[in-house]
Copies of this chain bind each other. A is one copy, B any other.
Amino acid sequence: MHPSIPSTALQLRSLVQADGRLQISLEPTPVPVPGPDEVLIQMQATPINPSDMGLLFGPADLSTVQVAGSAQRPVVTARIPERAMPGLAARLGHSMPVGNEGAGLVVAAGAAAAAQALLGRTVAVIGGAMYAQYRAMPAAQCLPLPAGTTAAQGASCFVNPLTALGMVETMKREGHTALVHTAAASNLGQMLNKVCQKDGIGLVNIVRKPEQAAVLREIGAPYVCDSSAPGFMADLTDALAATGATMAFDATGGGTLAGQILQCMESAINRTAKEYSRYGSAVHKQVYLYGHLDTRPTEIQRTFGMAWGVGGWLLFPFLEKIGGAASQALRDRVVAELKTTFASHYARTVSLAGALSADAIAFYGPRNTGAKVLIDPSM
């Protein structure tokens, strides 16, 4: 191995202990020697996505966060509510690496030609354990970034871009023609607006605050509904009638929002209904819950007939379902539009240790949809 590559390096780990304590720390871990078909990546940019929060914090109560340890190796602890512990049985006592995606420099490579070809290239990868100074990956799974693209620009190549495209693809495959998206001012939400604007697809954005509505109006979103406004249901129904959206992707998951969306969809459809049907309209209305920003139970008041569905939606099972060729087409589009449609913006860049400060956790924590943070493990 190259002399400048250390034999051990830091990796971020999340551990749920039997006493109900969550511990996040940076653990010295042997730097892997790449196998023949593998490369070793010095990680330079890895985002904290909402989809990382589940493994990182679990259901811990973040108001109980305490930070100890040293400046270089802080140790975060937080309490997990007792009622959440049964669901964590399978990860109890297992120290788990975190970080879905990222990008960095290939600093070592196995003997295979495909691996050697990547030496010195900046690549984007997905596969977990990215919050680390070094990560080995099969060469075939690396996405070499075009010349002139930095690791920071390529760090979020997969999760948000493919999720936005996956939502649009799901919409098309299930026979809908326009979309609703909640927590719509998020990085993902802004990206989805760009995709829908480019592709001419109607998109109804739901946000919770006037300042989030402003963010979306600024990027040209024509339909923005604020769920904290008194006229929310009427606004939403108008937007649904205008776009014809009968499918929604909801990042909040809990509370009454999914049911409200279904009810407004039914009202919008019934504006043009000619006669009473006690089973409601025959138009299928679908809400997919892809996040859990609201951890309350999902409460559905069934006031919209029988043609409806609510369910979980997850990117990777979806990509598997549509098959290799279809998902490669989505990936190709991401690379082609990486600096335009799929450009990510970060509010802060922090080191691995910096990501474990109380201040940073409060900033990027699970409830703060707009503020995306990038970790640079080489800092």
For A279, the chain B residues whose CB sits under 8 A away are 54, 314
Say whether B302 contacts A300, CB under 8 Å. no
For A55, the chain B residues whose CB sits under 8 A away are 278
Q: Contacting A302 at CB < 8 Å: which of B270, B275, B286, B298?
A: B298
Given A282-B317, A307-B312, A299–B299 Cβ distance below 8 Å? yes
For A305, the chain B residues whose CB sits under 8 A away are 312
CB distance from A158 to the nearest CB of B (A): 16
For A259, the chain B residues whose CB sits under 8 A away are 297
Say whether A254 contacts B302, CB under 8 Å. yes
A303 within 8 A of B: yes
What's the tally of chain A residues with a CB closer than 8 Å to chain B? 40
- Give Cα A275 to B253, complex, Å: 25
Could you give 14 example pairs across A and B, Cβ below 8 Å?
A: A54-B278, A90-B275, A256-B297, A289-B302, A290-B306, A297-B299, A299-B299, A299-B300, A305-B312, A307-B314, A307-B317, A308-B311, A308-B312, A309-B311
- Give Cα A130 to B16, complex, Å: 62
A301 within 8 A of B: yes
CB-nearest residue of chain B relative to A312? B306
- Give Cα A317 to B285, complex, Å: 14
A363 within 8 A of B: no
- Give Cα A210 to B227, complex, Å: 45
Say whether A292 contacts B302, CB under 8 Å. yes
8 nearest A-B residue pairs (beta carbon): A309-B311, A90-B276, A306-B312, A298-B300, A91-B276, A306-B314, A297-B301, A54-B278
- Give Cα A90 to B278, complex, Å: 9
Q: Using A297-B301, A302-B312, A305-B312 as known contacts, list a sample of 9 further A-B pairs with CB atoms less than 8 Å apart, ordered by residue number in A.
A: A90-B273, A90-B276, A91-B278, A94-B276, A256-B297, A299-B299, A310-B310, A310-B311, A311-B311
